[in-house]
C-alpha cells in the first residue's frame, strides 16, 4: 500500500485535493496543478468555486492567467462544493480557517467539519495533511480516532501528517516554491509520504519527527513575531513618554551586526496568523495548568495599541485646539499590511470604531480594500484628492500602501499621525510619529 500510493505521487497520477480555497489553499492547489497533478479544490462557498471554474481569481497572489492555464487550458484544476468526491481522492490537504472565538479560545469548528467529511469518505491509500494552524496535538486528537474506527492502520495503508502553511500575502520575494516547508507525520512512513508530495512543489522540505513538533514549529514562528512586536510596541510607548524618537532608536540599534533583529511598532497586530496563533498555545497550556506569560503580556500590549493611537490622535487634535468629537479624520489603509486586501484582525478597524465612538467623522482610503462592513453598515473607500485631504482635520496612516504619494499627502494635510513610519524621510512639523 505504501509503495502503491508513493508510486502514484512520484508519477503524478495521484488524485490530489485541497480543502479550503482561501489565501493558503488556493496558491497550494495552483502549484500542485502546475506540478502536473490533477487537483480538485473543495470549498463551501459556491461563489469561490464558480470563480475558480471560470478562471477568475479573488486573491492578489494568484493571477487570472495562472488560473486559466491550469483550469481551462490544461484542465488540471477544478473546484467543487461536492464533498462526496473526497472518496475519489488520494491526498487531502486541509487549509481551512482556525480563528479565535469571542473569548479568545480556539475555534476548530472548520477543521472538525472537514474531519467529519473525511470520515464519510475515508478509504485505504489515503494521505491527509492538516495545514491549518492549531495547538500541538490537534492532528492526533482529531484525525487519529476516525482512522481507528476503521480497519486502516496509520503508516501502512493510511497516512496522516501536519505541515504548517507559511503563506505571506503580498510578499514579492518569498512564495510557496522558495519557502522551506516543514512536515511532520504521525509515523515515519507518513512523513515520507508527505515529503514525496510536497517536494514536487517546494525547493526544500524540512521533515521533523512528529506532527506535534510540526504544529509547535508554526506556533513558535508566530509567537516569536508577536512577542517581539509587543516588545517594540511597548518601547514606542515608552519613547513617547520620554520624548525620544522611536524610529531613530530602532535604526541605530539595527546597525549592530549580531544579536539584534529590528522589529517595528505599529497600530497593532493584524492578519490570520500573528494575532491568533499564539493564543492556541496559551489556551492549550492553560488546560495543562501552565500560564504562557510572554504570550499573554505581548497580547495585552498589542491589543492596546489602537487605544494608544487614538490617544495620540486626541493629543494631536488638542494641540490644534480641536476635540476628537466633531473632527474630520481620514484613515489611510484598512488592510492589515501593505498592498493586500486582507482586513482580518486589522487594527485599523478598531481605530475606526474607537474614533467613531468618540464622535469623530471618520472616512478611509484603501486602494485594495474598497468596501468594508463596519458597525453593521457598509462603508466604502473615499477617493484621495488634495481637496479631500485638505478637508480633514487629521490624516492617520494606518497601513502604508506603495501607491500612496506621501509627499503629496503631507503637503495637502493639516496634520498627519504616522503609525507606519511612512513619512520617515519627509521633514514637516505637521507630522506626529508613533
Q: What is the pLDDT along the chain (434 residues), one digit of tens a residue?
A: 556 899 999 999 999 999 999 999 999 999 999 999 999 999 999 999 999 999 999 998 899 999 999 999 999 999 999 999 999 999 999 999 988 766 677 889 999 999 999 999 999 999 999 999 889 999 999 999 999 999 899 999 999 999 999 988 888 899 999 999 999 999 999 999 999 999 999 999 999 999 999 999 999 999 999 999 999 999 999 999 999 999 999 999 999 999 999 999 999 888 767 777 788 888 888 889 998 899 899 989 999 999 999 999 999 999 999 999 999 999 999 999 899 888 988 999 999 999 999 999 999 999 999 999 887 889 999 999 999 999 999 999 999 999 999 999 999 999 999 998 899 889 888 999 88
Query: Which residue of the set 95, 190, 239, 273 is catalytic?
Result: 273
- The Cα-based distances of 214 to 146, 149, 363 in angstroms read 21, 25, 43
Burial of 324 by CB count in 10 Å (0-12 exposed, 13-18 middle, 19+ buried)? buried
Whether the CA torsion 197, 203, 209, 215 is positive or negative: it is: negative
Q: Which of 81, 195, 69 is nearest to 129 (CA)?
A: 195
Query: So what CATH class is 245-433?
Result: alpha beta
- Provide the residue ranges of all domains of the chain, joining segments of one domain with +: 2-209, 245-433
Please determine whether the domains at 2-209 and 245-433 fall in the same fold group of CATH: yes
Q: Is the separation of the CB atoms in 219 and 133 below 8 Å?
A: yes
User: Using CA atoms, how far apart are residues 233 and 229, in angstroms rounded to an integer?
Assistant: 6
User: Using CA atoms, how far apart are residues 351 and 405, in angstroms rounded to an integer?
Assistant: 22
User: Using CA atoms, how far apart are residues 291 and 289, in angstroms rounded to an integer?
Assistant: 7
Q: Is the separation of the CB atoms in 344 and 336 below 8 Å?
A: yes
Q: Which of 184, 172, 164, 176 is nearest to 204 (CA)?
A: 176
Q: Which CATH superfamily is domain 2-209 in?
A: NAD(P)-binding Rossmann-like Domain (3.40.50.720)
Backbone angles phi, psi at 295, to 5 degrees: -60, -45
Task: Clarify whether 273 is annotated catalytic.
Answer: yes
Tell me, yes or no, if the pTM score tops 0.85: yes
Cell 487634535 sits on residue: 317
User: Using CA atoms, how far apart are residues 89 and 26, in angstroms rounded to an integer?
Assistant: 17
- pLDDT at position 270 is 82
Burial of 159 by CB count in 10 Å (0-12 exposed, 13-18 middle, 19+ buried)? buried
- pLDDT at position 61 is 86
Amino acid at each position: 500500500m505504501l509503495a502503491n500510493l508513493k508510486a502514484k505521487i512520484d508519477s503524478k497520477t495521484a488524485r490530489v485535493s485541497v480543502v479550503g480555497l482561501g489565501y493558503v489553499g488556493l496558491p497550494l492547489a495552483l502549484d500542485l496543478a502546475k506540478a502536473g497533478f490533477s487537483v480538485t479544490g473543495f470549498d463551501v462557498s459556491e461563489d469561490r468555486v464558480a470563480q475558480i471554474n471560470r478562471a477568475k481569481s479573488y486573491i492578489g497572489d494568484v493571477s487570472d492567467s495562472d488560473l486559466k492555464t491550469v483550469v481551462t487550458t490544461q484542465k488540471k484544476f477544478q473546484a467543487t462544493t461536492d464533498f462526496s468526491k473526497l472518496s475519489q481522492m488520494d491526498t487531502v490537504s486541509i487549509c481551512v480557517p482556525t480563528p479565535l472565538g469571542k473569548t479568545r479560545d480556539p475555534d476548530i469548528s472548520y477543521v472538525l467539519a472537514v474531519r467529519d467529511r473525511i470520515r464519510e469518505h475515508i478509504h485505504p491509500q489515503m494521505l491527509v495533511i492538516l495545514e491549518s494552524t492549531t495547538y500541538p496535538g490537534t492532528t492526533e486528537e482529531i484525525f487519529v480516532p476516525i482512522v481507528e474506527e476503521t480497519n486502516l492502520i496509520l503508516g501502512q495503508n493510511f497516512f496522516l501528517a501536519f505541515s504548517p502553511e507559511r503563506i505571506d500575502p503580498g510578499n514579492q520575494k518569498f512564495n510557496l516554491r522558495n519557502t522551506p516547508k516543514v512536515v511532520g507525520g504521525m509515523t515515519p512512513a507518513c512523513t515520507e509520504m508527505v515529503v514525496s508530495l510536497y517536494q514536487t512543489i517546494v525547493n526544500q522540505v524540512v521533515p521533523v519527527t512528529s506532527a506535534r513538533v510540526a504544529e509547535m514549529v508554526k506556533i513558535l514562528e508566530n509567537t516569536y513575531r508577536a512577542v517581539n512586536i509587543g516588545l517594540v510596541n511597548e518601547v514606542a510607548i515608552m519613547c513617547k513618554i520620554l520624548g525620544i524618537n522611536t524610529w531613530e532608536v530602532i535604526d541605530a540599534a539595527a546597525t549592530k551586526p549580531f544579536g539584534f533583529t529590528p522589529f517595528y511598532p505599529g497600530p497593532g497586530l493584524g492578519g490570520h496568523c500573528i494575532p491568533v496563533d499564539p493564543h492556541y498555545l496559551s489556551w492549550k497550556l492553560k488546560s495543562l495548568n501552565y500560564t504562557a506569560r510572554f504570550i499573554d503580556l505581548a497580547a495585552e500590549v498589542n491589543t492596546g495599541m489602537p487605544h494608544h493611537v487614538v490617544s495620540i490622535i486626541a493629543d494631536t487634535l488638542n494641540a490644534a485646539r480641536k476635540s476628537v468629537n466633531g473632527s474630520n479624520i481620514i484613515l489611510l489603509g484598512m488592510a492589515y499590511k501593505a498592498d493586500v486586501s486582507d482586513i482580518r484582525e486589522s487594527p485599523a478597524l478598531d481605530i475606526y470604531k474607537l474614533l467613531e465612538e468618540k464622535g469623530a467623522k471618520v472616512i478611509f482610503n484603501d486602494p485594495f480594500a474598497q468596501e468594508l462592513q463596519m458597525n453593521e453598515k457598509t462603508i466604502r473607500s473615499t477617493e484621495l484628492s488634495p481637496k479631500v485631504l485638505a478637508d480633514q482635520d487629521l490624516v492617520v496612516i494606518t497601513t502604508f500602501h506603495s501607491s500612496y504619494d506621501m509627499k503629496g499627502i503631507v503637503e495637502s494635510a493639516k496634520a498627519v499621525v504616522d503609525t507606519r513610519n511612512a513619512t520617515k524621510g519627509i521633514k514637516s512639523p505637521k507630522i506626529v510619529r508613533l
